């Protein structure tokens, strides 16, 4: 069974406010994006890696790949939205299965990648997630609570999100036709009526998004480097 990985890394990191793409920030001496790529590079269960980058950062990324001895199968120009970046990357995949994984999620454990691949033997769509810890409220525009969904059924969904490639392509085609923009890939696939299964991952697999995430990321990174 062939499985490729598609890594969107073409964002600007606006919420992080560093003034540059957060994925070039160093953790434990290496850019975040390199940590992420190392989760997949040279692993027997991954057949191809497609990396999507901002065209203005392509040279820098190529330089980093050389420096850290990583090679990918294609470096694709990203778009203005994450969804557009993924859409560009999909055209370069050849495997039967694809995992989409954010460039800004460097703490993905190997076991979880393997667990997802195992599940692809039985399901067409499977994503990682964790039960949420906070109570979530639905509020109106004036900040007043409308209701409190039962926490038991609420999960925070992460990446990787893994799909049969033909299904993900169809989902992207339909989203484009309907002018639908989702915040993850699963939401596009759900619109096809395909069942998306959730597999429990872990709380360390954070997406580095805002400045406080960097504090957490440094702590996780220190723990990982002690273990290896």
Closer of 83 and 124 to ligand CTP (Cβ):
83
Residue nearest to ligand CTP (CB): 11
Chain position carrying tokens 């460039």 = 103
**98: nearest Cα among 167, 9, 192:** 167
50 binds, among ligand CTP, Mg ion, none (CB under 5 to 8 A by kind): none
Closer of 144 and 179 to ligand CTP (Cβ):
179
Q: Which residues contact 167 (CB under 8 A, 6 or more apart)?
A: 124, 125, 189, 192, 194
14 in contact with ligand CTP (CB under 6 A): yes
Q: How many CA atoms are closer than 13 Å to the CA of 64, on its beta-carbon side?
A: 23
Beta-ladder partners of 98: 4, 163
Nearest distance from C-beta of residue 226 to ligand CTP, angstroms? 26
Q: Which of residues 182-211 bind ligand CTP (CB under 6 A)?
A: 207, 209
9 in contact with ligand CTP (CB under 6 A): yes
81 binds, among Mg ion, ligand CTP, none (CB under 5 to 8 A by kind): ligand CTP
- x/- letters, 49..78, toward ligand CTP (CB under 6 A): ---x-------------------------x
- x/- letters, 6..45, toward Mg ion (CB under 5 A): -----x----------------------------------
86 secondary structure, DSSP code: H
Strands 26-27 and 30-31: antiparallel
Q: Which residues contact 107 (CB under 8 A, 6 or more apart)?
A: 35, 204, 205, 206, 217, 220, 221, 224
Query: Could you list the residues that contact ligand CTP (CB under 6 A)?
Result: 8-15, 23, 52, 78-82, 85, 102-104, 207, 209
């Amino acid at each position: 069974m062939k499985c490729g990985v598609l890594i969107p890394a073409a964002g600007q990191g606006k919420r992080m406010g560093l003034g540059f793409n957060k994925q070039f920030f160093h953790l434990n001496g290496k850019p975040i994006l390199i940590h992420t790529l190392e989760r997949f590079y040279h692993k027997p269960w991954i057949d191809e890696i497609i990396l999507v980058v901002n065209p203005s950062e392509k040279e820098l990324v190529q330089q980093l790949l050389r420096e850290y001895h990583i090679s990918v199968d294609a470096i694709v120009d990203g778009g203005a939205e994450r969804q557009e970046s993924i859409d560009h990357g999909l055209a370069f995949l050849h495997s039967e299965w694809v995992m989409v994984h954010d460039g800004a999620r460097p703490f993905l454990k190997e076991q979880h990648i393997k667990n997802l691949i195992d599940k692809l033997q039985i399901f067409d769509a499977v994503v990682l997630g964790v039960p949420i810890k906070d109570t979530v409220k639905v509020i109106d525009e004036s900040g007043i609570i409308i209701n409190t969904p039962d926490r038991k059924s609420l999960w925070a969904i992460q990446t990787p999100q893994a799909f049969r490639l033909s299904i993900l392509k169809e989902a992207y085609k339909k989203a484009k036709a309907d002018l639908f923009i989702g915040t993850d890939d699963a939401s596009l696939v759900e619109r096809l009526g395909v069942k998306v299964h959730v597999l429990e991952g872990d709380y360390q697999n954070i997406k580095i998004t805002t400045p406080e995430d960097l504090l957490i990321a440094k702590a996780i990174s220190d723990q990982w480097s002690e273990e290896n």
